[in-house]
Structure 1
Amino acid sequence: MSELICAIDVGTTKICALIGELDDDNNLRIIGVGRVPAAGLRRGVVINTAEATAAIGQAVAEAEATANQVMEAAFVGIAGSHINAIGSKGVVAVGRNGRSITREDTLRAQEQARNIALPHNRDIIHTVPRSYTIDDQTGIHDPVGMFGYRLEVDVSIITGASSVVTSLVNCVQSNGVAIKDLVLEPLASAEAVLTDDERQLGVAVVDIGGGTTDLAIYLESAPWHTVVMEIGGDHFIRDVATGLRMPYGKAEALIKQFGHALPSRVPPDAEVRSGAFGETAHQVVNRRILAEILNARAAEVVELILREFKRSGYDELLPAGIVLTGGVSQLAGFAELSRDYLHWPVRVGRPTGIASSVMDLSSPEYATAVGLLLWGLRRGAVHRVAEPPASQFFERVLRWLRNFLPVPGTL
């Protein structure tokens, strides 16, 4: 019998499926990885169901093939500008004579906090406890076992647009994968890259992906503020493709290999050969000019991050600073630019705490996927599976291939 946890990170530029296995010491090891280019998605939102379903199915099939296991259920990341967070409180009576508070009492209090009026087109994704109050004692993180008469919880209720949530759920379930939980992506990333000290002191995790920038602020070990902004790595690529008049794919490759967010770090006469439009299909690019293009967009992203910190009111409560993750965090000079602009501690967060027998997943771009596995592990959400018969793999492959077949009668 194997104990498995599975995850699917549905991003704007890539879809990553992971299968993790618990060893005898309860350590999680990744045994299956599937990574494919995203399709049918824009800024974290499904815009073409057939394409998104097929891409998710391909990532799942690759992970199953490398793990020799079937992904029956998974933790699935969700993001996009449709996400919203609101504060709420719930209060329950513990007992007329008082008693020790149980886990059931905390769940009752959270249920009371969820009893708020929401528009009909909004779904609750998370109810995240921020702190508890027992009678007049405030600032309690875990009240279980403490004595009291009245329990109050302060929560952050994270909601998403019903249509967007339903579309994502359908795309995953159409591939025969049940959803254990939808997890807001910045909360998943935080699981993979933050330390306990950072969470306790006050820190922000900023995940800059292909289509969105996801931000989560942690105070006293709990997430107090989350937001998703519609800006990401695609904007950098588009700037370079437009400014240097080259194909999108060539611009992306140029940024990865030679990009820098600080022009002063690049010699003024440094040049590199790259792609171009037209008959020649190539050009010589001045790397200083490339850096100036990237610097302008990087400064805008950091300014938007700072503006969001100030809007949240928590900008003075983050002694541990910022932990950057996601693909853009790997751009040379971006962390230094952020540090100089914000005057806060800044580091690049890399996934930790999970070994992999398949490939190296320590890059920041895998923070969300790895964090989804850790989210499940810390909540005890493993399932036992026997060695799957070959017929299950065959059926899964057939289901995935059907995504590419035309509907009968449409030819």
Structure 2
Amino acid sequence: MTQRNIVAGIDVGTTKVCTIIAEVNNNGTIEVIGVGTSPSTGLKKGMVVDIDDTVNSIEDSVVKAERMAGVELESVFVGIAGSHISSTNRHGVVAVTGENKEITRNDIDRVIDATKIISMPPERQIIHVIPREFIVDGCKDIKYPLGMSGVRLEAEAHIVTGSVTSIQNLVKSVKEVNIGVEGIVLQPLAASKAVLSESEKDLGVLLVDMGGGTTDIAIFKEGSIWYTSILPVGGDHVTNDIAVGMRTPRDIAEKIKIKHGCAKADLIGQNEKINILDTSGKQQRTISRKVLCNIIEPRIDEIFSLVKEDIEKAGYKGLVPAGAVVTGGGSLLEGVSKLASEKLDMPVRIGAPENIDSLLDCVEGSIYDLDEEYSSFSGENGAIFSTGVGLGYYGAENMTDKTTAKTNRDEEQIVEDLFDKMRKWFKNIL
């Protein structure tokens, strides 16, 4: 049986579950070979509220991705978000104990462990300890001090924690599909690996991942993550507003949002009309598209107002000269980048992973495979896969010796099995 360097990530979101399977190339890059999506029915605001529904959604997306990639998954990296997530920056210091005062891997591990010494209730658990910089005898901005000489080693680290219960429920849901969990990854951290450039992270950039139940925030400076936050509002709130304002079923409201939605009403002409179904799902009526967008705009405006308030409260106002990158399903609404730029007072672009567009037409059972009336979904579609693809990149960087998938048997094995059968057949005849 042939083995390949395969990594896989599962983005378990409030609106969708997305499984991405990728093959790691020799140069460390990844090539996406399988994508599977399924509507998510067991989560609320990023947290599992029904394990059975969550398991079914995960299994559906995994099966579709495995079928496309032609592999069977053994373990995956899983994205996590939700209002239970919190983060802090910590400082650690140790004395260098290596021979001739040369910094060893053990010294680096000890100083990182020193940053974990925080007061934390038993119901919370550390998800990530991400070193931002190391300091050797007062010399700052060191990315990796292995082999350097010094007496005193310090570290600045970004620590992300979450609810033990929420983490355990997510891990249990994945394991119920008979797949191991290689690691839990904060969703905005994963998305950053798919949509941010190294120059943006060095200069200072704000990442806004607009999901269904939450909007995730991450700030990068000097190549490292400095701040993370999860806001309990997202695209589902927009859908609910449309359902109430237009008096239409929620599933129809979602389709209307995807096809006709716009975050800036002044981009819509007065004479643009759309057809929608009433609450019975049978009677069709015609309304102005501008009316729809007047429902959407206040909610998107509120989301970016909360983003602005959050980064100002955290003390990062004016510290992201590269501007903001908006990704996730919510970023695909027409006019989002324009409204975000006005609200945040900085340049904004929509972020989507590269080399994913060619696979979009092959995605089986995507939640965006709409009926004929709502069959188009314009925009940079790959943005809905940012977290999933980012989990692939994260997995490539943190691969263990254990492979995460096994491929179908190669031709040599098939031929060998065929000859075995023939030998047994002739033996029985004789």
- With normalisation by structure 2, the TM-score equals 0.86
- 2:129 matched residue in structure 1: 127
- Cα distance between partner residues in 1 of 2:324 and 2:151: 39
Residue 73 of structure 2 corresponds to: 71
Task: Establish whether residue 337 from structure 1 lines up as the match of residue 339 from structure 2.
Answer: yes
Residue in structure 2 matched with residue 4 of structure 1 by the alignment: 6
How much has 1:100 moved relative to structure 2? 2.8
Contact 1:31/1:356 (8 A) holds in 2: no
Measure the CA separation in 1 of the matches of 2:181 and 2:229. Answer: 23
Secondary structure (helix, strand or coil) at the match of 2:407 reads coil
More off after superposition, 260-269 vs 180-189: 260-269
Out of 281, 284, 291, the residue aligned to residue 283 of structure 2 is 281
Q: Which amino acid aligns with 2:143?
A: H
SS of the residue corresponding to residue 316 of structure 1 reads coil
SS in 1 for 2:5: strand
Asked if 1:378 corresponds to 2:397, the answer is: yes
The 5-angstrom pairing of residues 167-182 of structure 1 reads 167-182=169-184
User: Tell me, what secondary structure is at the counterpart of 1:87?
Assistant: strand
1-structure distance, mates of 2:94, 2:26: 40
Q: After TM superposition, give the deviation of residue 38 of structure 1 in Å.
A: 0.5
Question: Is the 8 Å Cα contact of residues 332 and 381 (structure 2) preserved in structure 1?
Answer: no
Structure 1 residues 19-168: aligned runs within 5 Å: 19-23=21-25, 26-95=28-97, 99-168=101-170
How far off its partner does 1:117 sit? 2.3
SS in 1 for 2:320: coil
- 1:301 corresponds to which residue? 303
C-alpha change, 1:357 and 1:261, in structure 2 (3 Å) is closer
Structure 1 residues 183-194: aligned runs within 5 Å: 183-194=185-196
Q: 1:200 to 1:279 in 2, by over 3 A?
A: closer
Residue deviations 1:232-271 (CA, integer Å, cap 9, x gap)? 0001111111011111111111111111111111112321
CA 1:345/1:382 → structure 2, altered by over 3 Å: closer, same or farther? farther
Distance 2:64 2:58 in 1: 10
Tell me which residue corresponds to 1:367.
Answer: 386
> Residue 227 of structure 1: SS of its match in structure 2?
strand
Deviation at 1:355, TM superposition (A): 8.6
Cα distance in 2 for partners of 1:355, 1:260 equals: 22
Q: Aligned pair in 2 of structure 1 residues 357, 270: CA closer, same or farther (>3 Å)?
A: closer
Residue 218 of structure 2 contacts residue 229 of structure 2 at CA under 8 Å; is this kept in 1? yes
Contact 1:209-1:327 within 8 A present in 2 as well: yes
Matched pairs, number = 390
Deviations 1:323-357 (Å, cap 9, x if unpaired)?
A: 00001111101100111222201000011267966
Query: 2:273·2:286 contact (CA, 8 Å) conserved in 1?
Result: yes
Q: Which residue of 1 aligns with 2:407?
A: 387
Q: Distance in 1 between matches of 2:8 and 2:98?
A: 44
Q: Percent identity between the aligned chains?
A: 35
CA distance in 2 between partners of 1:57 and 1:278 (Å): 32
Counterpart-to-counterpart distance in 2, 1:371 and 1:168: 19
Q: Distance in 2 between matches of 1:335 and 1:355?
A: 20
**Is 1:251 the equivalent of 2:270?**
no
TM-fit CA distance, 1:97: 7.4
Structure 2: runs of 5+ lacking an equivalent: 364-379, 410-430
Letter of the structure 2 residue corresponding to residue 81 of structure 1: S
Residues 72 and 406 in structure 2, CA contact (< 8 A), matched pair in contact too: no
Are 1:121 and 1:162, in contact at CA under 8 Å, matched by a contact in 2? yes
SS at match of 1:70: strand
- Cα root mean square deviation, aligned: 2.1
What is the rounded CA distance, in whole Å, between the counterparts of 1:259 and 1:282 in structure 2? 18
For structure 1, the 5+ residue unaligned runs are 390-411
TM-score by length of 1: 0.90
Q: What amino acid is the match of 2:382?
A: S
- Worse-matched range after superposition: 361-370 or 175-184: 361-370
Amino acid at match of 1:120: P
1:350 and 2:346 equivalent? no
Rounded Cα–Cα distance in structure 1 between residues aligned with 2:86 and 2:33: 34
SS for the counterpart of 1:147 is: coil
Q: Which has the larger Rg?
A: 2
How far apart are the structure 2 equivalents of 1:104 and 1:353?
39
Alpha carbons of 1:382 and 1:186: their partners in 2 closer, same or farther (altered >3 Å)?
A: farther
- Residues 232-251 of structure 1 aligned to structure 2 (within 5 Å): 232-251=234-253
| Aligned AA (1:188) | A
In structure 2, the partner of 1:318 is 320
CA spacing shift, 1:344–1:98, aligned 2, 3 Å? farther
Q: Once the 2 structures are TM-superposed, how far is the Cα of residue 95 of structure 1 from its aligned partner?
A: 3.0
d(CA) in 2 for partners of 1:102 and 1:186? Answer: 31
Q: CA, structure 1 residues 386+210, in 2 after alignment: closer, same or farther (shift >3 Å)?
A: closer
Residue 265 of structure 2 corresponds to which residue in structure 1?
Answer: 263
Range that drifts further, 262-271 or 299-308: 262-271
Provide the secondary structure at the position in 1 that maps to 2:162: strand
| Counterpart-to-counterpart distance in 1, 2:337 and 2:50 | 35
- Describe the shift of the 1:34–1:283 C-alpha distance in structure 2 as closer, same or farther (beyond 3 A): same
